[in-house]
Amino acid sequence: QAKAAKSPYQLKYHIRPSSGLLNDPNGFSYFNGKWHVFYQSFPFGAAHGLKSWMHLISEDLVHWQELGLALTPDTPLDSHGAYSGSALPIGDKLFLMYTGNVRDKDWIRHPYQLGAWMDKNDQIEKLPEPLITQPEHTTDHFRDPQVFQHNDHYYVILGAQDKATKTGKISLFRSSCMDSI
């Protein structure tokens, strides 16, 4: 970090990790009087390893404060990584939705669409069950939920790969609440 800070090529106005990989920004939102952004992090090198979400806040979108790890792969539903997702303020909490990556003994991926609630003190509690499981017609490329609200419903858009044609698809889900879709 000392070497990077002295580099003439090191930009000073953007988010950068204190170490390792910064991947996919997630959950950019305005909540509790601050801007929030999360990013996939692997702190042990510039490599795609076991990913977590780092959390940063800003009052002006220029100066950012790192709050540390927000989502870690610490449950059976995200044991091999907390992958991309999004966030949505709902009432007095921020709803986080992300893809939990799980690998079985044969190293086959099983994606789960997971949820968590963040309170005004930036404390996060994961939901105990998946919100969406992989449909039979998709491959394991079923991920990156984008959540939004329209009228009285919540919607989630997911990227998917069709199992039969191996082509990209968009999956759309709707619910009247975010604790189950």
The catalytic residues are: 24
Q: How far is CA 142 from CA 1, 70, 167, 172, in A?
A: 36, 22, 12, 12
Q: Are residues 25 and 53 in contact, defined by beta-carbon separation less than 8 angstroms?
A: no
Q: Are residues 29 and 56 in contact, defined by beta-carbon separation less than 8 angstroms?
A: no
Residue 101 CB burial class (10 angstroms; 0-12, 13-18, ≥19): buried
Tell me the backbone φ, ψ of residue 142, rounded to 5 degrees. Answer: -140, 95
